[in-house]
Structure 1
């Protein structure tokens, strides 16, 4: 009789273990799908930025060359955080011209005349792993429109305000435009363009830290839960509390990568600048 009970208990343990593995496997598949979808979002925005760069060139050495959008739509009467963001300028290249045409680009994001168009929400600005948008019910979690994808300004709290050519400057600056490839001697394949964040996501239409951020060394390490960047994509190992975090980034050449929280802070800082002349390992 006792042997029968032992057999039953062992069988139940096996079933429970198999069920746990099945649940873990399903969660992994779902997270992988969400991560791939997130990469697709960033790929589309990077493509839009390259298209806009070809449309609005700048002059370098008496030649017209392609250049990325400035971090904010220029407005000398407003501080960066009250201006319209680069995402507004990129809307026509994401098949959102009807929204762009409703926005008065001579005014700020908080101006009453712009209130209605900037209330639009865009699924392609939201990380699927965040749960911000439920596709089945077509409902949103937050009260206002957000973006989980921001432009990389360089290294330092003041990175977005640095002048063109500064060794700590990145692609996006509030008042600077980075020419391709003239202003990126570090190489477009070694320079961050966009990065995802779960920390204090801001309104997509506003300039300032809502849509452009630098890597502040005092906040390192940079990637993972409760860190400045990433934070949405995690992967638990079976029978262990150990967790890996992934952060999706787009490079200045348009390529999209999934970095892990094992990426050294100095590597990310080197990738964040356009002319820092840092040395990077071959397989960063």
Structure 2
């Protein structure tokens, strides 16, 4: 009898479990938690990428300092001189500063296969130029293929025809040096006019030493982000493949790394104009451009790094980039 009652009691128990409604509620709660956590995860990842980018620039800045210790000047942003190419023909030899500081970045093996007696656009340097160097690239830059065409205007007659590119390539860099500045100034009659100062930065074609930076090393930009090559980026949007050969003038790590920075209209439609008063995160052709929200990372001549706001006033950024203008620097 006891056994029969036990069976009845077992049969009368309800099995535990979720109803459909309860399951849907749990799924909804999990979805809300994921939605709340995902932005935080993305922000943490971007913070890590920004830290890596900042460290990359700091290491390149220190390499420039070590170059100065050895040669008593900073590396030129680019060297351009008459010479012979690897086949014996007359050419312009062009080499950028990133190739010159390779030994100071623990890249001696790469330096050994880059022939500095020939230009970055010489076929003999294709092996070296197409070797990726992690420290030359920002981890926030989109895209996995960073191979960019090589353009050396001195040997192409400064053609803008994409068909004139020599068919040579290099891995791109996201970091460049300040050679000169395009800017606008008061013409004295109530209007502004465009002006170009080619050697106002530190990484020019001339030998610049610490004594030449009279505005102070903590007040002068040495390096900056110009990310995204070989793709054209404007105001945060990837553009169609560039049909301008000159777009690729600054891009290869082995190439012309001293940039004459362009000023732009805010809508990115025109540069070098009499009312072009923007520099930062407008276009990545000849101007500072980064993929960290709202900022561009720079290295100052004292080796320190900063993230400067893309809303920084034009005059303040201009004064930062010129090594000896004597102007009182605004907040940055």
Common fold: TM-score over 0.5: yes
How far off is 1:71 after superposition?
1.4
| Native 8 Å contact 2:175 2:225 kept in 1 | yes
| Native 8 Å contact 2:281 2:288 kept in 1 | yes
How far off is 1:8 after superposition?
11
CA distance in 1, matches of 2:229, 2:208: 26
Match of 1:193 in 2: 222
Alignment of 1:1-284 (within 5 A): 16-57=31-72, 67-77=73-83, 83-132=94-143, 140=145, 142=147, 144-156=170-182, 161-162=198-199, 169-173=200-204, 175-180=205-210, 182-198=211-227, 200=229, 202-207=251-256, 211-218=257-264, 219=271, 220-224=277-281, 226=283, 228-234=287-293, 245-281=294-330, 283-284=331-332
CA distance in 2, matches of 1:198, 1:91: 20
Match of 1:254, SS state, is: coil
The number of residue pairs the alignment matches comes to 242
How far off is 1:186 after superposition?
0.5
How far off is 1:76 after superposition?
3.1
How far off is 1:213 after superposition?
1.4
Residues 268 and 109 from structure 1, CA distance in 2 versus in 1: closer, same or farther, beyond 3 angstroms?
Answer: same
CA distance in 2, matches of 1:213, 1:53: 20
Match of 1:269, SS state, is: helix
> TM-score, normalised on structure 2?
0.65
How far off is 1:114 after superposition?
1.8
Match of 1:237 in 2: none
How far off is 1:229 after superposition?
1.6
| Native 8 Å contact 1:126 1:132 kept in 2 | no
How far off is 1:230 after superposition?
2.5
Residues 112 and 15 from structure 1, CA distance in 2 versus in 1: closer, same or farther, beyond 3 angstroms?
Answer: closer
The alignment yields a C-alpha RMSD, in angstroms, of 2.9
| Native 8 Å contact 1:81 1:206 kept in 2 | no
CA distance in 1, matches of 2:25, 2:314: 47
**Could you report, residue by residue, the CA deviation over 1:21-64 in whole angstroms, capped at 9, with x for unpaired residues?**
2111111000011000000000000000000001012xxxxxxx
> TM-score, normalised on structure 1?
0.75
Where structure 2 has 5 or more consecutive residues not aligned to the other structure, the ranges are 1-21, 85-90, 149-169, 184-194, 231-250, 265-270, 272-276
How far off is 1:13 after superposition?
7.1
Query: Which segment drifts farther, 187-196 or 113-122?
Result: 113-122
| Native 8 Å contact 2:63 2:105 kept in 1 | yes
| Native 8 Å contact 1:199 1:226 kept in 2 | no
CA distance in 2, matches of 1:82, 1:275: 29
Match of 1:60 in 2: none
How far off is 1:15 after superposition?
5.4
How far off is 1:190 after superposition?
0.4
| Native 8 Å contact 1:231 1:247 kept in 2 | yes
Match of 1:186, SS state, is: coil
| Native 8 Å contact 1:99 1:117 kept in 2 | yes
Where structure 1 has 5 or more consecutive residues not aligned to the other structure, the ranges are 1-6, 58-66, 134-139, 163-168, 235-244
CA distance in 2, matches of 1:160, 1:199: 26
How far off is 1:246 after superposition?
1.5
Residues 280 and 13 from structure 1, CA distance in 2 versus in 1: closer, same or farther, beyond 3 angstroms?
Answer: farther
How far off is 1:81 after superposition?
8.7
Bigger Rg, structure 1 or 2: 2
Residues 231 and 23 from structure 1, CA distance in 2 versus in 1: closer, same or farther, beyond 3 angstroms?
Answer: same
